[in-house]
Amino acid sequence: MHPDFPYQLYLVISEESCLHYPLLTVAEMAIEGGVDIIQLREKNLSTSAFIKKAEALKKITDKHRIPLIINDNLKVAKAVDSFGIHVGNNDMPPTEILQNWDKNKVIGYSIEYLEQLQNAQTKAANHLGISPIYSTATKTDTVTEWGLDGIKKIRSLTQKPLIAIGRMDADNAADVIKAGADCIAVVSAICSAEYPEKTSKKIKHQIQQQHENL
């Protein structure tokens, strides 16, 4: 476990990705199964609807004492006083967030190109998403597939906490941790599962077992 990011299984959730139960139900089930940080990623909501959903989800994350991250909307993040925010390469840059939000807030930044590791945005971020490890139908506007070699490469170039995202599941989680990721972020494998709690438990078990082996 990375000392600056003590979370191993990161759920990235949207209403659209939840197939069998409403978002709040999936979130509760996933937490029961071992998810230890949650990001709300809603791409098609108005800011006011996004805030409403974030408020409802924050009640659950607060109850379970786990951090809530808001995807790509500083207004929403501020409105619900979330633990942090996650931004991509084409979103509000981390340097700007630093200037406009409390200094104790946590900023995640997605790495799509190796060159980003040298920029001021990576420096300003607290942790990095490696995006995507494998191509996925959940996000199609991506640049490359990092694969395990990409994780190893990025691991050799930065000490920051690394979160692997993109088609992560119980079958590939251990290899991704072994390659150098600190945490696994999941959308579909959990949100579209018939038993989100059971699936989360399985993935968490794979991650923990691999961390113990390292």
Which residues contribute to the site for Mg ion (CB under 5 A)?
72, 88, 91
Q: Give the CA count within 13 Å in the CB-facing half-sphere of 165.
A: 28
Identify the CA nearest to 80 among candidates 47, 109, 107.
47
What residues contact 111, with CB distance under 8 A and at least 6 apart?
89, 117, 122, 128, 129, 130, 131, 154
Nearer to ligand TZP, 132 or 150 (CB): 132
Kindly write out the interface string for residues 11-50 of this chain, putting x where it contacts ligand TZP by CB under 6 A and - elsewhere. -x--------------------------------------
Nearer to Mg ion, 28 or 91 (CB): 91
- Residue 45 has, within 13 A of its CA and on its CB side, a CA count of 18
Helix 47-63 vs helix 23-33: crossing angle, to nearest 10: 30
164 binds, among Mg ion, ligand TZP, none (CB under 5 to 8 A by kind): none
Tokens 């251990």 correspond to 174
71 has binding-site annotation: yes
Cα–Cα distance measured from residue 2 to residue 69, given in angstroms and rounded to the nearest whole number: 18
Residue in 58, 76, 66 with CA at minimum distance from that of residue 37: 66
Q: What residues between 134 and 163 interact with ligand TZP by CB under 6 A?
A: 136, 138-139
Size of residue set near ligand TZP by CB under 6 A: 14
DSSP 21: S
Q: Does 167 contact ligand TZP by CB under 6 A?
A: yes
Residue 91, binding choice from ligand TZP, Mg ion, none, Cβ under 5 to 8 Å by partner class:
Mg ion
Residues 142 and 129: their CA atoms lie apart, in Å, by: 13
Kindly identify the residues of this chain, within the stretch 88-107, that bind ligand TZP according to CB under 6 A.
none
Please tell me whether 137 is known to bind a ligand.
yes
Q: Which part of the chain contacts ligand TZP (CB under 6 A), choosing from 51-59, 72-80, 128-136, 198-206?
A: 128-136
Q: Which stretch binds ligand TZP (CB under 6 A): 1-9, 43-51, 113-121, 180-188?
A: 180-188
169 in a labelled binding site: no
Residues annotated within the binding site are: 39-43, 71-72, 91, 110, 136-139, 187-188
